[in-house]
Amino acid sequence: MKDIAIKVSDLGKAYRIGLKEQKQETLMGAIMSAIKAPVTNYRKISSLNKLNGQNGSDIFWANRHLTFDVKKGEVLGIIGKNGAGKSTLLKLLSRITEPTEGRIEIHGKVASLLEVGTGFNPDLTGSENIYLNGTILGLTRKEIDARYNDIVEFSGIEKFIETPVKRYSSGMKVRLAFAVAAHLNPEILIIDEVLAVGDAEFQKKCLGKMQEVAGRKGRTVLFVSHDLAAVKKLCHRAILLEHGELIKEGETSAVIDHYLKLNVTNKDTYSLQDIKRAKGDSRFIITGYTFLNENDEKISLAECGRDLKIQLHYKVREMGPDPIVILRVKDNLDQLLFICLSRNSYDGVMKLNKDEGFITCIIPKLPLLPGLYSIDICLKYGSDITDEINSAIRLEVERGDFFGTGKMHNEMMNGMIVYHKWSLQ
């Protein structure tokens, strides 16, 4: 137990949510409802503190049955889709909110960076907030004085350090908050996705500081991020949350691969049998598709910079000459980014099976930035369209290490990355 920084045992957090009030359809029903209202309201109020063990329709479990350990000096990545319970878990570990069930053991001082401006008094200046946060962590004024210049320099807002925090932009608040949290030398540093507010240069600076804190200084770091490249580079180990529960724990790359395959069913394809066709004579049609990674494993999310295979399931109702497959990849504004055309890239002429089969389009090092994309499918025999489906495929791309440098574009969301190199003379 001496090497354990955080021990979580069967942890759960429940919230009571509002429900839509039932409307009475008859006058008698409305009268009876009004008579019962005082008793009904009293029962609701008296049960507000009795969440534990309940599973009613008005109870929402943000976290449940979480059990894991974090060793001292370890960097733990926490990943999962939006709504998986990541932020709630960090609030429980930071003691911002109390658990409904379970137990948390924390050995060491904790500094957390969860939401923009959390822990700052908006009426105090940046300088005064540095001393306030240091005092809360148990440091003396002399200890804070020794770190003050490093904190201000790292934040990059020296010019505004004597300005009240309420006049700061969200980016300035994040800069100061991270600088304070990292330089006051907490034994445990908890960081949520708030670094996404900062610019790319500052994010790089923060990742470097977290590596220094975790490596050279041996501090424990818990890091929540959708930036899979950053999680891979920074974290020794990772956990994956879904619907508030821990579904995968272990080596970072293995957990990320499991996350990318999340929600893949045992079905061979996402069916396109019943969706509306834009045009075509239906001699040669697409009935479904599957996403595969470079190991031919089914995935539901694609990672920037990794090979993506789009396996198309086709049916042939009548054979024809010169089969052609066209994929048009579009961003979330429906603007065309690039086209995959079998006529140009397939060596020779495609020979289809008589009844049905698979055609696979392989996109090496997927050159798409994080975001949502759609793909049109068009099939032809020569110049004759046999099937065309607009926005047939929905593609979700996560951040990844495209260049293999441990860095990732953060200047924009949605769009393409062009492979390129730099030289210096």
Q: What is the pLDDT at residue 389?
A: 92
Q: Cβ(212)–Cβ(185) under 8 Å?
A: no
What residue ranges define each of the domains in the chain, with the CATH number in brackets? 4-14+58-260 (3.40.50.300), 270-398 (2.70.50.60)
Question: What is the spatial distance between Cα 238 and Cα 226, in angstroms, rounded to a whole number?
Answer: 12
Residue by residue, DSSP assigns 168-215 as: S-HHHHHHHHHHHHHHT--SEEEE-GGGGGS-HHHHHHHHHHHHHHHH
Could you tell me the strand order of the sheet in which 356-363 lies?
A: 270-271, 284-292, 308-316, 356-363
Please report how many Cα atoms fall inside a 13 Å half-sphere around the Cα of residue 100, on the Cβ side. 23
| Number of Cβ within a 10 Å radius of residue 277 | 17
Question: Residue 95: which region, alpha, beta or left (left: phi > 0; alpha: psi -120 to 50)?
Answer: left
Question: What is the spatial distance between Cα 210 and Cα 378, in angstroms, rounded to a whole number?
Answer: 47
Q: What is the pLDDT at residue 369?
A: 86
Distant-in-sequence, close-in-space partners of 320: CB < 8 Å, separation ≥ 6: 283, 284, 381, 382, 384, 386
Distant-in-sequence, close-in-space partners of 9: CB < 8 Å, separation ≥ 6: 67, 102, 103, 104, 105
> From residue 205, how far is each of 27, 221, 415 by CA, in Å?
66, 16, 24
Burial class (CB in 10 A: 0-12, 13-18, 19+), 192: buried
pLDDT in tens, the chain (425 residues): 678 889 999 999 988 776 555 666 677 767 777 777 777 766 665 655 555 445 566 678 889 999 999 998 888 999 988 888 998 998 899 888 889 889 999 988 887 777 655 668 889 999 998 898 888 777 788 888 998 998 898 888 889 999 998 898 877 888 888 888 778 777 888 887 665 555 666 766 777 777 777 666 678 889 888 777 778 878 889 999 998 999 999 999 889 888 877 766 545 467 887 778 888 999 999 999 999 999 998 888 888 889 999 999 999 999 999 999 999 999 877 889 999 999 988 888 888 988 999 999 999 999 998 888 889 999 999 999 999 999 899 888 888 878 877 666 554 456 788 777 776 77
Q: Is the dihedral of CA 43, 46, 51, 52 positive or negative?
A: negative
Residue by residue, DSSP assigns 9-28 as: EEEEEEEE---PPPPPSSHH
| Number of Cβ within a 10 Å radius of residue 163 | 14
Q: What is the pLDDT at residue 370?
A: 83
Q: Cβ(175)–Cβ(155) under 8 Å?
A: yes
Residues in the chain: 425
- Residue 287 in tokens: 């009935």
Q: What is the pLDDT at residue 361?
A: 94
Helices 141-155 + 126-136 axis angle, to 10: 130
Nearest CA-CA partner of 206 in 252, 238, 237, 174: 174
Nearest CA-CA partner of 172 in 185, 183, 159: 159
- Residue 153 in tokens: 């320099």
Reported pTM? 0.64
Q: What is the pLDDT at residue 185?
A: 74
Q: What is the pLDDT at residue 409?
A: 58
